[in-house]
Amino acid sequence: MSVSNSLMVVSDARVIVPFASAIAYFIFKTYEPSSPPVVSLLLGVVPTALAVILRRAFSSLTIALLTVPLAYWSLLVAFTVAYRLSPLHPLARYPGPLLCKVSKGWLAYVAGVRGDTHTYVKNLHKLHGDVVRIGPNELSIVHKDVPSVLSAKGLPRGPYYETRIHEAGVSLDGLRDSALHVVRRRPWARGMNTASMKYYEQLIFNTVGDLTSAFKQRMDTGEVVDLSGWMTFFGFDFMGHMAFTHDYGMLKNGRDAEGLYGLIEGALDDAKWISHLPWAIPYLQQVPGASKNWDEMKRVGEATAQRRFELGSQQQDLFHHLIDEDGNEETKPTLDLVAVDGQLAIIAGADTAATTLSHLWYFLLRNPSCLEHLRKEVDGAFPPGEDSSSDLTKQGLMPYLNACINETLRLYPPVLAGLQRRVNAGTGGKMIGPYFVPEQTQVSLFAYAIHRDERFFSPLPDTFWPDRWLSQKKFVLPTGDVVPSEQVVTDRDVFIPFSQGPMVCAGKNVALAEMRAVTCALLQQFDFTIIDSAYLDTWEDKIFEMFTTKRGTLPVHISPRASP
């Protein structure tokens, strides 16, 4: 080959490779392909083909196969980073960390390795204000206009929920199509109506009885009890009965004999970072053993659903409504799909109650005056000899009990991760308060950050102070200072521990009833003494977000309740 021809080939390579890389970038940016065949074509086949075509520009085919793909990929990354950091990007006006603007991988690291996404985002808002860019195309927003995002006329769910897609279908909490969500929610609505609640109240009564019996046994032997762990036992035992008429026996055995909680925790631990990078799901599915915990959890869920199906319609548990044993729907759901939603009920339902109860006991042990105030209210509502679990309706009307639960949910909502929504293409964008959100942007609402904003909850937004939920003319602060009601802000409109709108948690009322019943029963019958204050001092440091909440331990000595 002549020198002139060689130079021409080299010159062609310097033009063709950047041009091809730019086209690939345009395709990724515009169409966001994630299917393995398309991505393999763009990232594998194209640069390899270019290397073969342009091999004469290099000393050997091997050098071409090393150089061309590397240049192609490097340019693709450079185009991506340059655009995401440029003033031309639709979100350029909004502040945020450089790493967040460049890639969602950084937030995946924060979630997967550090487990403190909730505090990380809260601190970003403290630094930058109402709107923070937490991904190349994602904003976190703290504003009083939160209800408009979650309302029926608000925004659909974003890609964060794609981890809820299973072979049998999509679980209720993963449905991004609002119309489909309405259809799928109908059986859940029947399963949570007034008639169903009557049945669940009896289950709560029975399960609370199992809990108090277990505590009495351990009180007699002087055994140290981990309150946090036993709240988990309660949550799973109740949800087993409520969802599948199945007894996990955790309260009676004093342990998780089936290893269910460990299995669920392992699966969620795997998934906590994947939700931020949903495009990686198809590739991880090809890795042997990558979904081991999820596969095992699926097997357990299907076995539980099959066992309940074979029982027939003996009890009107949640499964009864999800499988449509009454024939209300034109098309019956498949058993596999009901198993998926049943798993959702077990995971979300058990964890919501267990986590909130654990946090509540932490706060009560940390604040003895609050514990005594609540105990006096329980004694007033249920005099000695009267079982507090016999009247859940009365518990729902107890002001300080509900204030303590609300305050716990405010400081530590069950879902610490953001509620992600998306402004879809073709909508023209969305105004959230004074802030314009362009099309194809994810919007995340972190309840942890919203609930601790002093504009919505003050004074003392980071302090456990249940009185803020009470209706009174004057308030006594924990410091002893007295302030008029005008100086106390409690904005219930942005209180979203269970989300809001049409996608609000279906089991909200059941969860609240559980929390009230357990709290009243334990305060009525027992005294608890933490074995070492270090467990209280480090409790909040050991909270890790993994869709659900990973918690530490609360080891206590149990003693009979001192006479009121």
**What is the rounded distance in angstroms from the CA atom of residue 157 to the CA atom of residue 97?**
24
- Residue 58 to residues 10, 18, 55, 410, Cα–Cα distance (Å): 8, 17, 6, 63
**Residue 538, φ and ψ in degrees, nearest 5:** -105, 0
Locate all alpha helices (DSSP H) within 345-469, ordered by sequence: 350-366, 368-381, 392-395, 399-411, 447-451
Closest to 52 in 3D by CA, of 16, 26, 8:
16
Beta bridge partners of 135: 138
User: Which of helix, strand or coil describes residue 418?
Assistant: coil
* Calpha distance 396→399 (Å, rounded): 8
Conformation bin of residue 405: beta by default, left when phi > 0, alpha when psi is -120 to 50: alpha
Tokens of 176: 């991004």
Between CA 395 and CA 232 the distance in angstroms is 22
Q: Which of 516, 215, 480 is nearest to 374 (CA)?
A: 516
The pairing of strands 441-445 and 138-141 is parallel
- Cα–Cα distances (Å) from 115 to 70, 93, 272, 544, in that order, read 34, 28, 8, 5
Alpha-helical segments (H) within 89-193: 98-102, 105-109, 117-128, 146-150, 178-191
What does the alpha-carbon distance between residue 252 and residue 250 come to, in Å, rounded to a whole number? 6
Edge-to-edge strand ranges of the sheet holding 555-560: 225-226, 555-560, 526-530
Report the DSSP beta bridge partners of residue 529: 557
Find out whether 505 is annotated in a ligand binding site.
Answer: yes
Distance, CA of 542 to CA of 119 (rounded, Å) = 12
Please say whether the beta carbons of 318 and 242 come within 8 A.
Answer: yes
Q: How far apart are CA 486 and CA 478, in angstroms?
A: 17
| Burial letters 253-288, b for 16+ CB under 10 A, else e | ebebebebbebbbbbbbbbbbbbbbbeebeeeeeee
Residue with tokens 């986590």: 355
Q: CB under 8 Å to 389, separation ≥6 — which residues?
A: 204, 205, 208, 209, 517, 520, 521
Q: Is 498 exposed, middle or buried (0-12, 13-18, 19+ CB in 10 A)?
A: buried
**Of residues 130, 131, 35, 182, the one with CA closest to residue 442:** 131
Residues flagged as binding site: 505
Query: Which amino acids are annotated as binding site for heme, given as ranges?
Result: 505
